[in-house]
Amino acid sequence: MNDLNYWSTKLMDFVVNNGPRLLLAILTLIIGLWVIKMIVRIMNKSMERGDIDVSLRRFLSSLVSILLKVMLVISVASMVGIQMTSFIAVLGAAGLAIGLALQGSLANFAGGVLILLFRPFKAGDVIEAQGFLGKVSEIQVFNTVLNTFDNKKIIIPNAALSSDSITNFSAESLRRVDMTFGIGYEDDMKKTRELLLSLARSDQRVLKDPEPFVAVSELADSSVNFAVRLWCKNEDYWGIYFDMLEKVKLEFDKAGISIPFPQQDVHLYKHD
């Protein structure tokens, strides 16, 4: 009975002395959780309007929510008189150790966040980076996955992609097909130019504006070179490129226009 009275007295003293602070801490915790929920919701809507990748939205939302809740708990614990200085120091030291151990992974993570935020390329784009050319099949948090045209899978760390040059062949809706054709010095240049223009204009995939461009680009050692510049939709690039190579060879043969190629004369001498 005496023990019960003792603990009852202790409890009453604790409530009287710490009741207001405890009540304020509970109120702060409830309001804080509601505010954090609203912040995360607003953040999600902003990222959704910004067309940010879904996986990145979820990750950033979870990260911000956890960080804010940790800060809220530390604040509430301090309000009720719990000393958090030592805990914060230990948490900071642990964070530093983990950061040093995962330095490479953190760099790749930061690179992935930058790629997903600024979107220099997206899934489905054809890019050339780090010496590899292929279609982007997936952008992960730490790596980007490419599929090459001979069906090989290339995994590139995001840190390298975010800090180096990238060529995105799918970024623009239009591309220019650049080709060079050489003819012999004895061939008719005007006739050749008209033939090349006719081939370009007869292809429906070649755009009329900007119009096809054909001109002499070089008087080389063994040929007169013509530069051919054709604008087309991105998806028509390779079709036009390969078709033009075939058509030019066939039409040059019909018109009697020669295409010079390297030749070597060998002279044999008989010595008595």
- Cis? peptide before 120, omega within 30° of 0: no
- Local confidence band at 151 (pLDDT 50, 70, 90 cut-offs): very high
Tell me the one-letter amino acid at 137.
S
Residue in the structure block whose two tokens are 């900071």 = 92
Same fold, 2-101 and 120-168: no
CATH code for the part of the protein at 2-101: 1.10.287.1260
At the topology level, CATH places domain 174-255 in Alpha-Beta Plaits (3.30.70)
Residue-level pLDDT at 30 = 87
Task: State pTM to two decimals.
Answer: 0.63
Tell me the pLDDT tens digit for each residue of 208-254: 999 999 999 999 988 999 999 999 999 999 999 999 999 999 999 99
Residue extents of the structural domains in the chain: 2-101, 120-168, 174-255
Residue-level pLDDT at 190 = 94
User: How confident is the prediction for the chain on average, in pLDDT?
Assistant: 83
Residue-level pLDDT at 96 = 61
- Cis? peptide before 157, omega within 30° of 0: no
154 in the Ramachandran plot: left (φ > 0), alpha (ψ -120 to 50) or beta?
A: beta
Tell me the pLDDT tens digit for each residue of 24-66: 778 888 888 898 889 888 888 887 777 766 666 776 777 788 7
Greater pLDDT, 105 or 37:
37
- The structure tokens listed for 203 are 């292809």
Please determine, looking at this structure, whether the domain spanning 120-168 carries the CATH number 2.30.30.60: yes
Tell me the one-letter amino acid at 82.
I
Query: Residue 79: is its pLDDT beyond 60?
Result: yes
